Structure 1
Amino acid sequence: MTENTNMTIVASNNLSGMAMVDSRRLIGAALLAITLLVTGCGPGSFEPAEAPVQIDRAPTEPDEIAKQVVAGLLSIPVAEITLVSVEAKDFGDPSLGCPEPGMAYPQVITPGHRVIVEADGRRFDVRVSGRHGRICRKPGRTGPSRDSDGDRPENSSPVTSQIDQARANLAARLDLEAGDIRVTDVRPYEPGIASPGCRPDCGTSADGCGYLIGLFFDGRRYEYHSHDGRTEPCPALSAI
């Protein structure tokens, strides 16, 4: 009887030991599974995707380069600059048709563009070659043609001089060559034919009140009034 009891106790102990081993194995497996699950779903899996890096690239198109040049000059956003025209040209030298005073340039054909943009009520002639652009400002566009002594040529009539003044004035406002401005008509001033807003001060009578000079550029007509040596836009070009 005692022997059977001992055998029963031993068997019971063996079963208990096996059960404990199995339990430990189950617990270990469960812990391993939890560890793998936590590792797979750890913080690294929930890291937000990095936002794409904005890379500032230099403009490559002639109009973009011209706008950047004018924007830098006026300290205004590029969005406030309007493109007027782009013209591909082969310039005779690296000055792009706008030589600096006192500078010498090799005579080599330089491909580029002439870009006209508008900003801040003005127009700018920008010459572009490659990725570089510069504003073209030619001297001698603010007055009528003169001879070497600074006087008007002898064969220049008063009306011709007034036309020269009007073209030079408009060219300076639009930052163009005077030769780019076309003269459409010249006629004596009469109140009935003047543009709205053109009210020159000619005293009590319009007789002998000078001339109206019609100019044209880029699809737009401009009128100037010339009288007593003065030539002015009529009406005033406040928007240019």
Structure 2
Amino acid sequence: MLAADSPKPRSQVFSGETLRMPRFLKHPLIFQLSPTDRVTLYRTPQDTCGLYTWGVFTVSNGGGPVPHIHYADKEWFLTENQGGIRVFLPKDPLPSLVPGQVPGLNGPSQAMGSTLLPSHAALFSRQGIVHYYTNESGERLSGFHNVWAPGYGMIGVFQVFDQAVKRGQPLDPQELMAQTGLWGTPHDSAGVMVGTSDYRKIPGPGVTAPTNLKQLQALIDKGEACFENTGSPVRNMTP
């Protein structure tokens, strides 16, 4: 729960802009995404008045999510002291995909470009596009923040991966797309969305994307104020 009497949140600088960070849950949700990678959800729609979901990833060298689409979520990527995350985005501006549209299955695969994030960087990905990232830093990376707005289905998506890790049996591509697609975020481990199974090595052109940090700041501020105004108990948050 949010602590109305907790100290003011700290600020961090990303891509030269100052962002007032939200308070984080003292007892966050943790999901294992692979034997080496995990995500910790420090804020969810249940404690942001449905505005956003905040996750911090630990990503092994060469790791990262497979190509996927968020039909209903905007997303921000934020690096802290470690850089080296390569984010893949569509090469050309494309209309946002809607539920049921899957490139490579009922439409053309999408040509991808990429950008390499340094430390203390921010990047915005609009909803309805194919995207993914990989860790090219040469080392295990922690403190990589992803924020989804609103991110209602992300807990369900991460449960799919966590359960597969616990079973010791990864899902085949068709099962993975079906189970994650149920939550509005189909994941494509076969690479049909981008036209190749070797999707982490797509050379592609460099792409640029905005930070849209003012929009993220507005969500953070509204989430903090909204939850405090509910008068809920206040014992489960850190500054």
TM-score normalised by the chain length of structure 1? 0.20
Which entry has the higher C-alpha Rg, 1 or 2? 1
Q: In proportion to residue count, which structure has more helix?
A: 1
- Kindly indicate whether structure 1 or structure 2 has the higher relative contact order, using CA contacts under 8 Å at least 6 residues apart: 2
TM-score normalised by the chain length of structure 2? 0.20
